[in-house]
Chain A
């Protein structure tokens, strides 16, 4: 996006939040039904946005239907506030929602739109998390007909999905799903929690903040209401486990930048082709670094 771009005329006919009021009302009604039926993929008429489907249009429509001048927005892409997708979406909101504040600090945000990560620090009741979803239906791998999938969801019939997970265990001795781990909400609907890593799945359970998921291309909105049960689909004898960041000596790897040993790490290669690990949540990493520096100054 060209940051110097200006609308051709002063105060042209874009309403606050780009979407027209009818579109917003429809998204809003859909959000309320999605909260009432936790985990149910509620269909809605996804609008054309001035960016390609697959670039967060579902999340963006949720954000634009929610946002008001009192809000402070944080946009994250793969944990980072500075990657292209996040910067684009943030600038679009700034362009179309005059008065809305933006921030990189989680604690200042009232609305958080994210792609592929849930922030490291726990959210609060004063915040709403919007996740961008590419593929909303976890049953699509076992059933190609949407009509049949809708019935399976309604009857909470996930036997074929469990068979798929069981096959994984037979082949590889464990369930090999790295992200988009099927998660059961309020003991009924199983959702695709968007491509968050396993690390983030436990954060869905009993979250104080409302979590909304929007799939623009697939025209679905679903929700994990606050304080709801969210359980990853597992077997009694094969417990769910998150990513293991221990090295060959069993030592927990630390972030190369801030030294944190409790965050989700991204793996990079440095110039010598050696592996380095760094916090995926850049705002968390910055916060940790600032704390260290403060301590050093005091010390």
Chain B
């Protein structure tokens, strides 16, 4: 019924004003790695993020089958395998089981952007661990708490981003929030919380 009262709420994420807002939040989290943004759209965070980023020009891989058949046409993206995809949506709770593209020396921007669905980010991350971050966009050091992230992702990421400018850029999202870990961010795994 809520959709009838406010038709923008569920369809908003496919409309330009909402996508602009989501993009500005994306710009903020990529500029300041470790900061957590609230998702303004009333939908799953990963879906709102993908809706504001994808169109027919990009390829998208969904190795863990998170995208339902009715969503695919709306995203417009070409389905592909994780090793060639521009965007990859994956379940961060499972061990990493694919090899993403890290770009080439001439075109490092072809390195994949991986959206990782995790249990919780920020203050709700009980049972998770603390990531100590440094690098561009961070004044000194900062911390990001995350739960429901399989440790294999961080180990694999360290290898994938070791040869800058090659690498992958991570976008962590829980139900309502998201945070970015660009390839330039140095991560040290901190204490368990």
Pairwise interchain contact A150-B106, C-beta atoms closer than 8 A: yes
Is A37 engaged at the interface, CB distance under 8 Å to the other chain? yes
Residues of A with C-beta under 8 A to B43: none
Is A42 engaged at the interface, CB distance under 8 Å to the other chain? yes
Pairwise interchain contact A42-B16, C-beta atoms closer than 8 A: no
CA distance A151 to B107 in the complex (A): 9
| Segment of B19-27, B62-70, B115-123, B149-157 in the binding face | B19-27
Is B129 engaged at the interface, CB distance under 8 Å to the other chain? no
| Segment of B2-10, B90-98, B132-140 in the binding face | B132-140
Residues of B with C-beta under 8 A to A16: 16-17
| B36-76 at interface with A (beta carbon < 8 Å) | 52-58
Interface residues on A, range: 35 or more
Is A154 engaged at the interface, CB distance under 8 Å to the other chain? yes
B contacts with A, residue count (CB < 8 A): 36
Pairwise interchain contact B165-A33, C-beta atoms closer than 8 A: no
Is B105 engaged at the interface, CB distance under 8 Å to the other chain? yes
**Which of B54, B108, B169, B183 gathers the greatest number of chain A CB atoms within 10 Å?**
B108
**Which of B26, B165, B169 gathers the greatest number of chain A CB atoms within 10 Å?**
B165
Is A228 engaged at the interface, CB distance under 8 Å to the other chain? yes
Pairwise interchain contact A226-B31, C-beta atoms closer than 8 A: yes
Residues of A with C-beta under 8 A to B24: 66, 68
| Segment of A1-9, A19-27, A76-84, A268-276 in the binding face | A19-27
Pairwise interchain contact B108-A227, C-beta atoms closer than 8 A: no
CA distance A186 to B14 in the complex (A): 36
Is B184 engaged at the interface, CB distance under 8 Å to the other chain? yes
Q: Which of B109, B137, B138 contacts A37 (CB 8 A)?
A: B109
Residues of B with C-beta under 8 A to A151: 105-106
CB distance from B105 to the nearest CB of A (A): 4
Pairwise interchain contact B137-A40, C-beta atoms closer than 8 A: no
Q: Which of B32, B58, B184 contacts A36 (CB 8 A)?
A: B184
Pairwise interchain contact A26-B57, C-beta atoms closer than 8 A: yes
Residues of A with C-beta under 8 A to B55: 21-22, 25-26
- Known A16-B16, A29-B58: A154·B30 in contact at CB below 8 Å: no
Pairwise interchain contact B53-A25, C-beta atoms closer than 8 A: yes
Pairwise interchain contact A186-B27, C-beta atoms closer than 8 A: no
Is A118 engaged at the interface, CB distance under 8 Å to the other chain? no
Residues of B with C-beta under 8 A to A29: 53, 58
Pairwise interchain contact A68-B20, C-beta atoms closer than 8 A: yes
Pairwise interchain contact B105-A227, C-beta atoms closer than 8 A: no
Closest partner residue, chain A, to B86 (CB atom): A29
Is A28 engaged at the interface, CB distance under 8 Å to the other chain? yes
Residues of A with C-beta under 8 A to B54: 25
Pairwise interchain contact B164-A188, C-beta atoms closer than 8 A: yes
Residues of B with C-beta under 8 A to A75: none
CB distance from B171 to the nearest CB of A (A): 9
Pairwise interchain contact B57-A36, C-beta atoms closer than 8 A: no
Pairwise interchain contact B27-A227, C-beta atoms closer than 8 A: no
CB distance from B186 to the nearest CB of A (A): 12
- B155-193 interface bits toward A, Cβ cutoff 8 Å, 1 = contact, 0 = none: 000000000110101000000000000111000000000
- Known A15-B16, A22-B55: A188·B113 in contact at CB below 8 Å: no
Pairwise interchain contact B31-A40, C-beta atoms closer than 8 A: no
CA distance A33 to B57 in the complex (A): 15
**Which of A24, A26, A28 gathers the greatest number of chain B CB atoms within 10 Å?**
A28
Q: Which of B52, B164, B182 contacts A35 (CB 8 A)?
A: B182
Is A283 engaged at the interface, CB distance under 8 Å to the other chain? no
Residues of A with C-beta under 8 A to B20: 24, 67-68
CB distance from A52 to the nearest CB of B (A): 26
CA distance A25 to B57 in the complex (A): 10
Residues of A with C-beta under 8 A to B57: 22, 25-26
Pairwise interchain contact A37-B108, C-beta atoms closer than 8 A: yes
CB distance from A146 to the nearest CB of B (A): 10
Pairwise interchain contact A35-B16, C-beta atoms closer than 8 A: no
Closest partner residue, chain B, to A45 (CB atom): B57
CB distance from A22 to the nearest CB of B (A): 5
Give 19 A-B contacts (CB < 8 Å), ordered by A residue: A16-B17, A22-B57, A25-B54, A28-B52, A28-B53, A33-B109, A35-B31, A36-B30, A36-B182, A42-B109, A68-B20, A68-B21, A68-B24, A125-B32, A151-B106, A186-B136, A206-B139, A227-B138, A229-B136
The 10 A-B residue pairs with the shortest CB-CB distance, nearest first, are A154-B105, A36-B182, A228-B136, A33-B109, A225-B136, A150-B106, A210-B31, A36-B169, A68-B20, A225-B137
